[in-house]
Structure 1
Amino acid sequence: MAAAVALAVAILVVTVTFGIARLRGRYDTIDSAWGAGFAVIALAGFAVEPRGFGGALVATVLTVVWGVRLSVHIHRRNHGGGEDRRYTEMMARARSRPLARMYFRVYLTQAAVMWFVSLPVVLAQRQADDLGVLAVLGIVVWCVGFAFEVVGDEQLRRFKADPGNRGRVLQHGLWRYTRHPNYFGDACVWWGLYLVAAQHLPGAATVLSAVLMTWLLARGSGKPILERHLSESRPGYRDYVARTSGFVPLPPKKSVA
């Protein structure tokens, strides 16, 4: 029942977002709605069957805080810019029914991923007992991830806002230790939520949800395309890649052959 509600909410969120995207003429609207979709799923799940102040409430609050923050950040980042080239190229390649292809291949795929990744939250919301050791550890991991994500995004925003940094590569702060502190933080957030859910066996079985999110962040989500583009357009980016961890924060290499 709870998983079915989550799936229905995910489909509804992306369908409404698709309608807004058509009105705006910008299909990267789904990027702004990504985090908010998880927040809506969490709120709907908690409203359907509230279970008090244990893991259910904790998972709901953590998901809403993360999701709303991420959606606001992405909306502000994209506001005033042009359409994401990924969606422009996708529409250009579509030989027939481009809108239908966009909805089914991008938006509904996002709904499926959103639903599957949110399963730890859905299962955690079925818990009514006090927080155990795993849940406390999950909150700590979530906090570490959220800090990496927020600080990394802010450092990048400030760097881009300085005209003197045009064409340069951000190599200080958290970006000195990982090329994607925001992606690493995102993964930690979802492993933290998984640990909250793992207090009970049904929640522990959702480990593939956290694995999928981590894989998308480390290997998918446009990361290879972005890094290839930066390597070709930013002097020094190849050297930065050679010195700096691609995901997990590590001390940078001192020299590059």
Structure 2
Amino acid sequence: MTGDAWAAFGLNLAVAAGLALAVMLGTFAVALAKGMHRIVDVAWGVAFAAVALTTWLLSAGYGDDGRRLAVTLATCVWGLRLAFHIARRGRGHGEDPRYARMLSQAPGDPRVYALRKVYLLQGCLVWLVSLPVQAAAYLPQDLGLLGSLGLLVWATGFVFEAVGDHQLARFTSDPAHRGRIMDRGLWSWTRHPNYFGDFLVWWGLYLTACATWQTAALTLVSPVVMSALLVWGSGKRLLEAHMAGRPGFAEYAARTSGFFPRPPRKTPR
């Protein structure tokens, strides 16, 4: 990047932070009106799409047009598909048990606690995780081999996530499967195809920002933080703690990879 591009990128960082905050505060207001905080999970994907679109507009004249468009479309397709999927999955259901449990144990006013621990935290994470999307838009180089590889990794992750979600939705919609563990399709290769897909999506987007060592170093925190969230934070760890008591889960876990896909073991350990 040139000096002007770095200055524009700095402004973009500030605008993206304000935008992520605005999306989360708006979602918080809607959640209070509805008395239900699970809609913040829908806002997560929407916020990333909003940051990507705003970055695309602000970066005009600075970055390579092909790279700008590719990264913007990739982020918007991922974020809006995820938002739509979560909204459809939650339609007709009450509060998410995770949020109900967390807020029932909140010290002081649960609304203030939710604002601080859920909405403001997620706004900060949107800004931090989207750093490669923002940086890539200001790079003057075309995608090249590394950027194209990044899009291939992104596409692989997107397919894993979308197909895994679709397979699970079809399985759980059948009343005959109530109470059973999903162990078919991609779910026989990994216990979390959707989380593994997310993992690939953000490492792929990171590669699109690696045209210079400065942007590669600056944005590395994004896929690292996302990976930590998916494996040790609010993703795999919490879900498996919730699933541990279900009949058949121990056997399923014994034969199926915990994260990275592999063929299922024929004889569980």
| TM-score between both structures, scaled by the size of structure 2 | 0.92
Q: Which runs of 5+ in 2 are unaligned?
A: 1-10
State which of 116, 119, 128 in structure 2 corresponds to 1:116: 128
Match of 2:42 in 1: 32
Q: How many Å separate the matches in 1 of 2:257 and 2:49?
A: 30
Runs (4+) off by over 4 Å:
none
Match of 2:212 in 1: 200
Query: Contact 1:194 / 1:203 at 8 angstroms: preserved in 2?
Result: no
Match of 1:238 in 2: 250
State which of 246, 250, 254 in structure 1 corresponds to 2:262: 250
Superposition deviation, residue 227 in structure 1: 1.4
Match of 1:7 in 2: 17
Q: Deviations over 1:117-136 (max 9, x none)?
A: 00000100102332211101
Query: Contact 2:103 / 2:114 at 8 angstroms: preserved in 1?
Result: yes
Q: Match for 1:92: what amino acid?
A: S
Number of residues paired by the alignment? 256
Q: Match for 1:79: what amino acid?
A: R
Q: Deviations over 1:4-32 (max 9, x none)?
A: 11111111110111011111111111111
Q: Match for 1:144: what amino acid?
A: T
Superposition deviation, residue 109 in structure 1: 0.5
Q: How many Å separate the matches in 2 of 1:145 and 1:237?
A: 25
Q: Does 1:210 align with 2:223?
A: yes
Q: Match for 2:241: what amino acid?
A: R
Q: Deviations over 1:26-84 (max 9, x none)?
A: 11111111111100011111112224523222111100110000000000001111101
Match of 2:27 in 1: 17
Q: Match for 2:132: what amino acid?
A: P
State which of 139, 142, 147 in structure 1 corresponds to 2:159: 147
State which of 140, 164, 183 in structure 2 corresponds to 1:171: 183
Match of 2:174 in 1: 162
Q: How many Å separate the matches in 1 of 2:221 and 2:139?
A: 20
State which of 219, 236, 240 in structure 2 corresponds to 1:223: 236
SS of 1:150's partner is: helix
* Shift in alpha-carbon separation, 1:52–1:198, aligned structure 2, 3 A: closer
Q: Match for 1:39: what amino acid?
A: A
Q: How many Å separate the matches in 2 of 1:19 and 1:149?
A: 30
State which of 41, 49, 65 in structure 1 corresponds to 2:51: 41
Q: Which runs of 5+ in 1 are unaligned?
A: none
Query: Contact 2:192 / 2:258 at 8 angstroms: preserved in 1?
Result: yes
| TM-score between both structures, scaled by the size of structure 1 | 0.96
Query: Contact 1:56 / 1:128 at 8 angstroms: preserved in 2?
Result: no
Query: Contact 1:45 / 1:122 at 8 angstroms: preserved in 2?
Result: yes
Q: Deviations over 1:131-150 (max 9, x none)?
A: 21110100100110000001
Match of 1:86 in 2: 98
Q: Match for 1:226: what amino acid?
A: L
Q: How does 1:61-72 map to 2 (within 5 A)?
A: 61-72=73-84
State which of 60, 68, 71 in structure 2 corresponds to 1:56: 68
Q: Does 1:127 align with 2:139?
A: yes
SS of 1:19's partner is: helix
Q: How many Å separate the matches in 1 of 2:107 and 2:238?
A: 23
Structure 1 vs Structure 2: percent identity of aligned residues? 48
Q: Match for 2:112: what amino acid?
A: A
Q: How many Å separate the matches in 1 of 2:180 and 2:163?
A: 19
Q: How many Å separate the matches in 1 of 2:268 and 2:77?
A: 40
Match of 1:136 in 2: 148
Match of 1:103 in 2: 115
